[in-house]
Amino acid sequence: MASLRYPLLVLTLLSLIAISAGSISPSIGPLEYTGHLSYDYIEGEDAIIRIVFQFNEEIGQRLVVVNAPSPWSWSLGADTLSMTGGSLAPGSTLVIPVSFNRYVPPGDRPFTAVGTTSSGESNTALGVLAVTEMLLLHVLHIISVNQLYLIGLTGILLFTVVFLERRDSVPHIGDDLYDWSDDGDVIEDDTGLYSAIPIKDDQAARPDKPCIGNFVMNVRGCEPFPEPIYEYLVGEVLYYIWPGSKWRKAEGKAKDEMDKAKAWFEKYCIYLTFKPLRRSKKVERKMVRYYNKWYRQIEHLIKARATIQSDHINEFRWMMDALQRVALRKGKLLVVFIDEYITVWRPTLVSANALSRWRPNPNQDKKPVMGYQQIGINWIDSETPYILTHELIHALGKSAPGGPGKITWGHYQNCDKAMSQMYRQNPRRRYTRLSEDDCLGKTEYEEILQNKGGNVLKLFKIPGRKRA
């Protein structure tokens, strides 16, 4: 869109110049060119009191006197310049500085000068006015001649820009957007919905013996150590694969990440069940339309790795807000698999993020969502193994939807064998260090046990066992 605005600006400026060329040219002419008309009164007895310079029609209609010699005054006819009010004695010469109010091609322009004496006699002289090239007037002449074309092109381009902006603009937030969150659009069955990934709900029965989890401590050169676990945690996590996204076209990628996370957390007696968040096809079509319009606005910023503008950040957040309202009503953590995801705390596109807080909704008719239980996974991290597992550590350590954990929220484990340790300089590249053998920090587990992800998890004790 920006590529069309500059031509539109140029055409608009040229059209304005073309319309006002007639009033601009008289001011430019004297600055660019000054010639001289001269009349030599060689022989005679009476003084010349009137002189008429006669030109061809092209010159006469464009000539202007820059500064008439005192006390002479001048007037222009269709092809003449008349000088009156003065007196020219025999043997004298009258020189008149002249210019043009419109473009005249360069060259020598002949003229005839007829002087009239006080007794009524005529005296004729011939002369030549040397006209040099006037670049600015020439440009104004070309613009003026093409005035109708310029105005027409400006109108066509203006219509095109307005049309494309209306087509590509991010819609204003209103009731239309929040219709995404209506309960009537939440579909619980799988009938005819291609967004579902059939992950088996195989939540384990209560274990009769403690799990043996491998933990690490927050120290350099740490080594995993086994420790029995006498409690287990159970929770449901909602997931949503954005319609039209690359995740939707390769659904096995998302399933693989959720299976990896499920198996990894079970080593610590944390049993997660992933269930799809359903949206009707009507709502999904609306979501695709909003997202595509938003993405077209920021695509050039992504390629340039530039900061995303605040307006586009807000529009993205409202889209996620519409989904999150459904998840919060169900008291669930929500994982969104989407092509591009913007974090809440910095205005750049990131690959994965476990949100904590979300700015209030300015729409006074709607209740603000102050805390979020949401994880966003970019398509970039479809090749980052265990990225969802990593982000779940952040999310499950939260004490409330808007309350991040003190230990699990950051990358605080000073141990390269910790699943939560992840440092990449470029968030636009996949990260390959995480693996199945990475461990949970001991202090991280204790915070998850205490906070339970803001009541996403439920705590149970293993029968007949006491915590060590």
Spatial distance between the Cα atoms of 161 and 167, rounded to a whole number of angstroms: 10
Q: What is the pLDDT of residues 88-125, one digit of tens each?
A: 999 899 999 999 988 989 988 889 999 999 988 899 99
Q: What is the pLDDT of residues 370-428, one digit of tens each?
A: 467 888 888 888 888 999 999 999 889 988 777 788 888 877 677 888 898 887 767 66
HEC-encoded secondary structure of the chain: CHHHHHHHHHHHHHHHHHHCHHHHHHHHHHHHCCEEEEEEECCCCCCEEEEEEECCHHHHCCEEECCCCCCCEEEECCCEEEEEEEEECCCEEEEEEEEECCCCCCEEEEEEEEEEECCCCEEEEEEEEEECCCHHHHHHHHHHHCHHHHHHHHHHHHHHHHHHHHHHCCCCCCHHHHHHHCHHHCCCCCCCCCCCCCCCCCCCCCCCCCEEEEEECCCCCCCCEEEEECEEEEEEEEEEECCCCHHHHCHHHHHHHHHHHHHHHHCCCEEEEEEECCCCHHHHHHHHHHHHHHHHHHHHHHHCCCCCCHHHHHHHHHHHHHHHHHHHHCCCEEEEECCCEECCCCCCEECEEEEEECCCCCCCCCCCCCEEEEEEECHHHHHCCCHHHHHHHHHHCCCECCECCCCCCCCCCCCCCECCCCCCCCCCCCCCCCCCCCEEEHHHHHHHHHHHHHHCEEEEECCCCCCC
* pLDDT at 185 (0 to 100): 38
Out of 11-15, 53-57, 131-135, pick the least confident: 53-57
Q: What is the pLDDT of residues 279-301, one digit of tens each?
A: 888 888 888 888 888 888 777 77
Average predicted confidence (pLDDT) for the chain: 79
* pLDDT at 166 (0 to 100): 65
Q: What percent of the chain shows pLDDT beyond 90?
A: 23
**What are the sequence ranges of the domains in the chain?**
34-133, 176-461
Contact, 323 vs 180, CB < 8 A?
yes
Q: How confident is the model at residue 449 (pLDDT cuts 50, 70, 90)?
A: very high
- Residue 183 confidence (pLDDT) above 50: no
- Residue 345 confidence (pLDDT) above 60: no
Question: What CATH architecture does domain 34-133 belong to?
Answer: Sandwich (2.60)
Neighbours of 276 (CB within 10 A): 19
CA 286 to the chain's CA centroid: 21
* Model confidence, pTM: 0.58
Contact, 64 vs 98, CB < 8 A?
yes
